[in-house]
Amino acid sequence: MVIEDQNKDIEQLIRDLARKLLKEKEVDVILGYTKGTIPLTSLPIVIDKVEDVDKLIWNNLCYINLAKYLVPRIPTLMNEEGQKLKVGIVSKGCIGRALIHLSVEHQIDLENIKIIGIPCNGIINRKKIEDEIGEREIFEISVSGDNIIIKGEDLEQTLPFNEYLNDLCKTCQVKSPPSIENICVGECLENPVIEDDFSDMTEFDSKTPEEKWEYIKNLLDTCTRCYACREVCPMCYCNLCFVDQNQPVWFGKTTAYSDIFTFHLIRAMHMAGRCVGCGACSSVCPMGIDLNLINRSLEKIAKERFNFTSGIDPEALPPMMAFDMEDDQEFMMEED
């Protein structure tokens, strides 16, 4: 089936399930996607009326991880009697994984959530599109068949869909959310298994330490420290982020490379064993920095050392929340 038809089917699935859940009062609100106000974007939307269901959409620009909007905001979603509202949330695979991981970290209660599972067919890489089009203004973007159609003033260009997908989407093994009994409706995966394929890291791992340093330096060199990556990440939910603390001050707040590198290094360590590979951080970066390399490196370490993959098993504790006397300690040094 071509991408255009897949999108129509997914959108219809979302609307049918949302309408059913609202009519039968299984949820109080639906959190999903709606059309963006400018090209290459979509917007999150919360609806609580059946007549608003047709505002829900699906296209290949729905890059935001909606789980972000439940933490830390879900405690504020109350009715007039002060009771917690039950939320239905449109969930592709990475959103479902984020919800599971957040529940393991005791940030959300899955009993108050209905996961509306959809089979994600990939997210378009906005940066690749912008690089291709250059400075020409885009008025409209759509998918026709298996092609992306770009229109603007004195501009109409056709691009092959598969060549402009996010790299993460090309290798994603969990297109739909993992199934949880009585919580997941729609298309959900029973007992998903992610095979250990880190072939995309082979080239980077083969580099010398000096070459790796130069690569990372070039990758982060254009960072302006706008913190868009932090703001969009569902796992960044601290009330006070380390970069905003002034007692103590952990590092400077300038755009000197030492400060940029320190920010990304510390944030990456906070993401160890927690990233669900949604790619939202890279999608929102105004400078087009792809943070996937850093996150994938830590995902590989978590898998190799602890045999852990985030957001798959609601009963499995992540490495940073668990301790085992049998854990490898190869980093410990012994005196001769």
Q: Is the dihedral of CA 57, 60, 63, 67 positive or negative?
A: positive
Half-sphere exposure for 255 (CA within 13 Å, toward CB)? 8
| The pLDDT of residue 332 | 67
Q: Note whether 22 and 48 are within 8 A (CB).
A: yes
Please write the tens of the pLDDT for every residue from 53-97: 999 999 999 999 999 999 866 556 677 777 788 999 999 999 999
More confident: 310 or 250: 310
3-state helix, strand and coil shares in percent for the chain, rounded to the nearest 5: 40, 15, 45
**In one letter, which amino acid is 19?**
R
Tell how many helices (H) and how many strands (E) occur in the chain.
10, 8
Q: What are phi and psi of 36, to 5 degrees?
A: -75, 165
| The pLDDT of residue 160 | 94
Q: Note whether 237 and 303 are within 8 A (CB).
A: no
Share of the chain above pLDDT 70, in %: 95
Checking if the pLDDT of 185 tops 70, the result is yes
Checking if the pLDDT of 106 tops 80, the result is yes
Checking if the pLDDT of 26 tops 80, the result is yes
What stretches of the chain adopt beta strand conformation (E)? Answer: 29-35, 42-47, 87-91, 113-117, 138-144, 147-152, 155-160, 184-186
Checking if the pLDDT of 48 tops 90, the result is yes
Neighbours of 153 (CB within 10 A): 8
pTM (predicted TM-score): 0.91
| The pLDDT of residue 253 | 82
